[in-house]
């Protein structure tokens, strides 16, 4: 198989910052569990209270396209 003609969808600009965020969050959760839990709960509550309409529309559009 000739791998020179294979196109990759790997994008470093998306993958590397995402990995840094995920690994950083995991590290902070392991080292400082209580403060991290408090911060993540505040973020979750903000999203559920202020961005509930975005979630509803996203699910609605997803179901329509299905």
* Across 6-10, 13-17, 37-41, 50-54, least confident range: 6-10
Q: Measure the CA–CA gap between 19 and 25, rounded to whole angstroms.
A: 10
pTM beyond cutoff 0.75 = no
Question: 17-40 burial, b for 16+ CB within 10 Å, e for fewer?
Answer: eeeeeeeeeeeeeeeeeeebeeee
Residue with tokens 């329509």: 64
Of the segments 2-6, 29-33, 48-52, which one has the largest average pLDDT value?
Answer: 29-33
pLDDT of 7: 81
Whether residue 1 is predicted with pLDDT greater than 90 in this model: the reply is no
Average pLDDT of the chain to the nearest whole number? 90
Residue pair 29/36 in contact by the 8 Å Cβ criterion: yes
Domain-wise residue ranges, the chain: 12-65
Q: How far does CA 43 lie from the centroid of its chain?
A: 13
């Amino acid at each position: 198989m000739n791998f020179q003609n294979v196109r990759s969808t790997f994008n470093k600009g998306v993958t590397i910052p995402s990995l840094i965020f995920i690994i950083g969050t995991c590290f902070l959760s392991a080292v400082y569990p209580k403060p991290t839990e408090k911060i993540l709960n505040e973020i979750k509550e903000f999203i559920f209270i202020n961005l509930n309409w975005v979630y509803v529309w996203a699910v609605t559009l997803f179901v329509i396209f299905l």
